[in-house]
């Protein structure tokens, strides 16, 4: 990709750039992603176990996303 193409991408609105970024991430095949470390796997397991013990402690993605975006500004 050349500089002109990058410049054009950065002219997209913030929402459009986020959507594009998500689409690019979604298009990556699992086998193309780097493997998880033992620590990352252990953390995933810990979080799953915590959720299974108390599913009511989960926060809906919409709330998490809104909170994250509010901290950006």
CA distances from 28 to 21, 34, 58, 62 (A): 11, 11, 27, 23
If pLDDT is split at 50, 70 and 90, which confidence band does 73 have? low
pLDDT attached to residue 38: 97
| Predicted TM-score (pTM) above 0.85 | no
- Which pair of structure tokens corresponds to residue 5? 């193409």
pLDDT attached to residue 42: 97
pLDDT attached to residue 41: 97
Which has the higher per-residue pLDDT, 59 or 73? Answer: 59
Q: What is the pLDDT of residues 21-68, one digit of tens each?
A: 888 888 877 677 788 999 999 999 999 999 999 999 899 989 998 998
- Estimate the crossing angle of helix 3-10 against helix 14-27, to 10 degrees: 120
Contact 56, 49 (CB under 8 A): no
The DSSP secondary structure of 4-17, one letter per residue, reads HHHHHHHTS-HHHH
């Amino acid at each position: 990709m050349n500089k002109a193409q990058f410049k054009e991408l950065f002219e997209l609105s913030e929402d459009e750039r986020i959507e594009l970024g998500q689409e690019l991430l979604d298009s990556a095949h699992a086998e193309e992603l780097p493997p998880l470390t033992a620590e990352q796997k252990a953390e995933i397991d810990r979080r799953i176990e915590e959720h299974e013990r108390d599913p009511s402690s989960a926060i809906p993605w919409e709330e998490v996303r809104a909170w994250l975006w509010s901290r950006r500004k």
